[in-house]
Amino acid sequence: MDISVVIPLFNEEESLPELFSWIKRVMDENRFTYEVYFVNDGSTDHSWQVIEQLQTENPDVVHGIKFRRNYGKSPALFCGFARVQGDVVITMDADLQDSPDEIPELYRMITEDGYDLVSGYKMNRSKGDPLSKTIPTKLFNATARKVSGIHNLHDFNCGLKAYRREVVKNIEVYGEMHRYIPYLAKNAGFSKIGEKRVHHQKRKFGKSKFMGWNRFVNGYLDLLSLWFLDSFGLKPMHVFGFVGTLMFIIGFLAVIAVGATKLYYISNGIAHPLVTNSPYFYIALTTMILGTQLFVAGFLGELISRNAPERNNYHIEKEI
């Protein structure tokens, strides 16, 4: 099979029929063999009925996964990725903001140019989205570029992306990590990451599910975690042990300072204050306690990373 399309969706009933017939048209015109996975992320509207209808009409092509509740876009992608069979996997949003007309070129970039992953780069974003989304997005992308070291991407979080199948089978998209899929791919060893400018339209039906500033706070925290996992995920003791040792050294030097001054005062017969009056005493106390704590945290980290629990465990109500 040439292409698998994975579409995560949450309350997008109005868009689905138009989106599917558009995808079908593009696939047929280009003679691609394909499948489409609609992952219904706990929609409360009639999205699932629409998917069932599409599946009845196109039983060989359409698949549906129905979550029992809303888990988020990343879990939806994860479950789609687990099932796809196409050589090239395309993800797109369900809201008709991403254009299926981009699929043939994305497919070509993976199969002929040899990219592992090609991310869309939304052109004319300012026309399609409000400033409150585009300005924080610029900031977000600049930081993501810096931290991930993927300098050629302008738009990490574009819903429209294409992957070589091995990529999606070897990354674990969880939590809200869909924003950093290129970084996940890079960490998994897929380094040929490209970009294609894509058309982007205003949302036709319904409203955005990602609004407000808290998505940026969460976004940055996720980026920090990824950086941490990338650098120390398999060796937590290296970071905790390092900082712990540093703390211990500082504490040790402070103890020497406290002890030495005390001795100096005593041996020279100078009237001396209590050690607790010295700032070094408190520095020694805090840093040595902190150092011990960090070591314990490091050991705990090692223990946990060796017995990592199953993170991607979602309740699926139905599959068609």
Contacts 24+ apart (CB under 8 A), 168-173: 168/81, 168/84, 168/89, 169/81, 171/81, 172/78, 172/311, 172/312, 173/74, 173/75, 173/77, 173/78, 173/81
Using rule CB under 6 A, residue 155 touches ligand UDP: no
Using rule CB under 6 A, residue 116 touches ligand UDP: no
Structure tokens at 139: 């900031």
Residue located via tokens 């629409």: 50
Contact 299, 237 (CB under 8 A): yes
Structure tokens at 251: 């504490």
Measured CA to CA, the distance from residue 239 to residue 241 in angstroms comes to 5
Using rule CB under 6 A, residue 196 touches ligand UDP: no
Identity of the residue, 91 or 97, whose beta carbon is nearer to Mg ion in the bound complex:
97
Identity of the residue, 212 or 259, whose beta carbon is nearer to ligand UDP in the bound complex:
212
Q: Taking CB positions, which residue lies at the least distance from ligand UDP?
A: 208
Structure tokens at 29: 């015109």
Using rule CB under 6 A, residue 159 touches ligand UDP: yes
Q: What is the nearest approach in angstroms of ligand UDP to the Cβ of residue 252?
A: 51
Contact 119, 156 (CB under 8 A): yes
Please select the residue that binds ligand UDP; options are 6, 8, 158, 160, rule is CB under 6 A: 8
Contact 38, 70 (CB under 8 A): no
Using rule CB under 6 A, residue 212 touches ligand UDP: no
Please select the residue that binds ligand UDP; options are 14, 48, 72, 180, rule is CB under 6 A: 72
How distant, in Å, are the alpha carbons of 122, 125, 217 from that of 199?
6, 9, 28
Beta bridge partners of 35: 4
Q: What is the nearest approach in angstroms of ligand UDP to the Cβ of residue 34?
A: 19
Using rule CB under 6 A, residue 93 touches ligand UDP: yes
Identity of the residue, 8 or 120, whose beta carbon is nearer to ligand UDP in the bound complex:
8
Residues that bind Mg ion (CB under 5 A): 93, 95, 97
Identity of the residue, 93 or 116, whose beta carbon is nearer to ligand UDP in the bound complex:
93
Using rule CB under 6 A, residue 209 touches ligand UDP: yes
Residues 6+ apart with CB under 8 A from 111: 87, 88
Identity of the residue, 159 or 182, whose beta carbon is nearer to ligand UDP in the bound complex:
159
Using rule CB under 6 A, residue 10 touches ligand UDP: yes
Identity of the residue, 77 or 284, whose beta carbon is nearer to ligand UDP in the bound complex:
77
How distant, in Å, are the alpha carbons of 36, 200, 202, 241 from that of 127?
29, 9, 7, 50
Identity of the residue, 92 or 167, whose beta carbon is nearer to ligand UDP in the bound complex:
92
Using rule CB under 6 A, residue 222 touches ligand UDP: no
Measured CA to CA, the distance from residue 284 to residue 220 in angstroms comes to 34
Contact 64, 52 (CB under 8 A): yes
Please choose which of ligand UDP, Mg ion, none residue 41 contacts, taking the beta carbon within 5 to 8 angstroms, the exact cut-off set by kind: ligand UDP
Number of helical H runs and strand E runs in the chain = 11, 8
Q: What is the nearest approach in angstroms of Mg ion to the Cβ of residue 5?
A: 16
Please choose which of Mg ion, ligand UDP, none residue 242 contacts, taking the beta carbon within 5 to 8 angstroms, the exact cut-off set by kind: none
Binding site for ligand UDP (CB under 6 A): 8-10, 12, 41, 70, 72-73, 76, 93-95, 97, 159, 208-210
